[in-house]
Structure 1
Amino acid sequence: MTAFPPALFQNLMESLTQWDSLTPLFLAFCGILAVAWYAWICFTKPSSKPPPGPRGLPLFGNLLSIDPELHSYFASLSQTYGPIFSLRLGSKTAVVVSSPSIARQVLKDHDVTFANRDVPVAGRLATYGGKDIVWTPYGPEWRMLRKVCVLKMLSNTTLDSVYELRRREIRKTVGYLYSRVGSPVDIGEQMFLTILNVITNMMWGGTLEGDERAAVGSEFREVVAHMTALLGKPNLSDFFSGLAWFDLQGVEKQMRLLARRFDQIFEKMIELRLRKNNESGSGESKDFLQFLLKLKDEEDSKTPLTMTHIKALLMDMVVGGSDTSSNTIEFAMAHIINEPKVMRRVQEELDSVVGRQNMVEESHIHKLPYLFAVMKESLRLHPALPLLVPHCPSESTTVGGYTIPKGSRVFINVWAIHRDPTIWVNPLKFDPTRFLDSKWDFSGNDFEYFPFGSGRRICAGIAMAERTFLYSVATLMHSFDWKIPESQELDMSEKFGIVLKKKVPLVAIPTTRLSNTALYE
Structure 2
Amino acid sequence: MSYTPTFLFLLPLSFWHLFLVMFFGFMVIKIIRHFLIANTNKAKLPPGPKPWPIVGNLPEMLANKPATRWIHKVMEELNTEIACIRLGNVHVIPVTCPIIALEFIRKHDAAFASRPISMSTNIISKGFLTTAVTPFGEQWKKMKKILVNELFSPHKHQWLANKRNEEADNLMFYVYNKCKIADDDDGLVNVRIVARHYCCNLMRKLVFNIRYFEEGRNDGGPGFEEVEYVDAIFTLLRYVFAFCVSDYMPLLRGLDIDGHEKKVKDAMSIVNKYNDPIIERRIEKWKDGSKTSAADAEDLLDILISLKDANNKPLLTSEEIKAQTLELVLGGVDNPSYAAEFAIAEMINQPDLLLRATEELDNVVGKERLLQESDIPNLNYVKACAREAFRLHPITIFNPPHVAMDNIKVGNYMIPKGSHVLLSKQGLGRNPKIWNEPYKFKPERHLKNDGSMVVLAEPDLKFISFSTGRRGCPGIVLGTTMTVMLLGRLLHGFHWSGPPNVSTIDLLKYSNGDRYLGGPLVAIAKPRLAVELYHP
Question: Which band: TM-score by shorter chain?
Answer: 0.7 to 0.9
| Counterpart secondary structure, 2:308 | helix
Once the two structures are superposed, residues 294-315 of structure 1 have per-residue CA deviations (whole angstroms, 9 ceiling, x without a partner) of: 2x23666999444333222211
**Secondary structure of the residue that 2:386 maps to in structure 1?**
helix
Could you tell me which amino acid in structure 2 is paired with residue 458 of structure 1?
G
* Amino acid paired to 1:492: L
SS at match of 2:140: helix
Q: Residues 192-218 of structure 1, C-alpha deviation per residue, up to 9 Å, x if partnerless? A: 112111111111116988628967634
CA distance in 1, matches of 2:313, 2:422: 33
The correspondence for 1:290, drawn from 291, 302, 311, is 302
Q: Write the distance in 2 (CA, Å) between the matches of 1:53 and 1:195.
A: 39
Cα contact 1:371–1:474 (8 A) shared by 2: yes
Flag the 1:335–1:79 CA change in 2: closer, same or farther, 3 A. same
Deviation string 1:295-347 (CA, Å, 9 cap, x unpaired) is x2366699944433322221112223222321111111112222212111111
Deviations 1:77-132 (A, max 9, x none): 33333122111223332111121221122111211111111121111111111221
- Equivalent position of 2:75 in the other structure: 78
1:271 aligns with 2:280: yes
1:460 to 470, 474, 479: 474
Higher Cα Rg, which structure: 2
TM-score, with length taken from structure 1: 0.82
Question: Quick check: 1:235 aligned with 2:244?
Answer: yes
Q: Shift of residue 288 of structure 1?
A: 0.9
Matched, 1:339 2:339: no
| Secondary structure of the structure 1 residue equivalent to 2:136 | coil
Counterpart in the other structure of 2:441: 430
Corresponding position: 1:203 with 2:198: no
Give the Cα separation in 2 of the matches to 1:214 and 1:180.
Answer: 15
Superposed displacement of residue 378, structure 1: 1.4
Q: CA deviation at 1:443?
A: 5.3
Q: Report the counterpart of residue 362 of structure 1 in structure 2.
A: 373
Number of the residue aligned with 1:372 = 383
| SS of residue matched to 1:185 | strand
Amino acid at match of 1:273: R
Asked whether the equivalents of residues 96 and 431 of structure 2 are also in contact (C-alpha less than 8 Å), the reply is no
Alignment check: 8 A CA contact 1:71 1:415 kept? no
For the residues of structure 2 that align with 1:70 and 1:364, how far apart are their CA atoms? 41
In structure 2, which of residues 58, 65, 68 is the aligned counterpart of residue 68 of structure 1?
Answer: 65
Separation in 2 of the partners of 1:284 and 1:498? 47
Are the structure 2 counterparts of residues 287 and 184 from structure 1 closer, same or farther at C-alpha, using a change threshold of 3 Å? same
Work out the CA distance in 1 between the residues paired with 2:82 and 2:341.
Answer: 32
Q: 2:338 & 2:471 partners in 1: Cα distance?
A: 22
Query: Which has the larger displacement, 217-226 or 299-308?
Result: 299-308
Aligned to 2:13: none
Identity among equivalent pairs (%): 28
CA distance in 2, matches of 1:509, 1:411: 38
Residue 92 of structure 2 aligns to a residue whose secondary structure is strand
Counterpart contact for 2:43–2:412, Cα < 8 Å: no
Question: What are the equivalent positions in structure 2 for 1:106-117 lying under 5 Å apart?
Answer: 106-117=104-115
AA aligned opposite 1:468: M
**Partner-residue secondary structure (3-state), 1:360:** coil
Q: Confirm or deny: 8 A CA contact 2:178 2:189 kept in the other structure.
A: yes
Q: Deviations over 1:436-490 (max 9, x none)?
A: 1279855554133443233211122211110111111111111100000121131
Partner of 2:233: 224
The RMSD of aligned alpha carbons is 3.1
Q: Are 2:518 and 1:503 equivalent residues in the alignment?
A: yes
Choose 206-215 or 221-230, whichever is displaced more. Answer: 206-215
Q: Distance in 1 between matches of 2:422 and 2:213?
A: 43
Change (3 A) 1:210 1:87: closer
Give the Å deviation of 1:406: 1.4
| Contact 2:202-2:211 within 8 A present in 1 as well | no
Q: Please, which of 300, 309, 322 is the counterpart of residue 311 of structure 1?
A: 322
CA offsets per residue over residues 150-179 of structure 1, 9 Å max, x none?
332123321222222222223223222222
Contact 1:141-1:303 at 8 Å conserved across structures: no
Answer whether contact 1:71 1:416 (CA < 8 A) is retained.
Answer: no
Question: Hey, what does 1:53 align to over in structure 2?
Answer: 48
- CA 450–178 in structure 1, closer or farther in 2 if over 3 Å, else same: closer
Aligned to 2:491: 477
Report the more deviating stretch, 229-238 or 463-472.
Answer: 229-238
Match of 2:505 in 1: 490
Asked whether 1:418 is paired with 2:432, we answer no
3-state SS of paired residue (2:112): coil
Question: Aligned runs of 1:112-123 on 2, under 5 Å?
Answer: 112-123=110-121
CA 1:497 to 1:132, structure 2 compared with 1: closer, same or farther past 3 Å? Answer: farther
CA contact (8 A) 2:213 2:226 kept: no
Q: Which residues of 2 match residues 164-183 of structure 1 at below 5 A?
A: 164-181=162-179, 182=181, 183=187
Matching residue of 2:158 = 160
Task: Write the letter of the residue equivalent to 2:340.
Answer: I
Specify every segment of 5 or more residues in structure 2 that has no aligned partner in the other structure, as ranges.
1-38, 182-186, 217-221
Distance in 2 between residues matched to 1:498 and 1:346, nearest whole Å: 30
Structure-2 change in CA distance of 1:254 and 1:481 (3 Å):
closer
Q: TM-score, normalised by structure 2?
A: 0.80
When residues 197 and 499 of structure 1 are mapped into structure 2, their CA distance, relative to the original with a 3 A threshold, is farther
Counterparts of 1:209 and 1:487 in 2: how far apart (Å)? Answer: 38
By relative contact order (CA 8 Å, sep 6+), the higher-ranking structure is: 1
CA distance in 1, matches of 2:255, 2:499: 49
Distance in 1 (CA, whole Å) between partners of 2:459 and 2:169 is 36
2:189 counterpart of 1:185: yes
Q: 1:513 maps to which residue?
A: 528
Contact 2:383 2:456 (C-alpha < 8 Å) held by counterparts:
no
The separation in 2 between residues aligned to 1:363 and 1:340, in whole angstroms, is 27
Structure 1 residues 498 and 113, CA gap change in structure 2 (3 angstroms): farther
Distance 1:341 1:381 in 2: 19
Secondary structure of the corresponding residue to residue 525 of structure 2: strand
Cα–Cα, structure 1 residues 320 and 429, in superposed 2: closer, same or farther, change >3 Å? Answer: same
**CA displacement at 1:281 relative to structure 2:** 5.6
> 5+ residue gaps in structure 1?
1-44
Other-structure match for 2:132: 134
Distance 2:457 2:372 in 1: 25
In the aligned structure 2, how far is the partner of 1:299 from the partner of 1:353? 49
* 3-state SS of 2:395 partner: coil
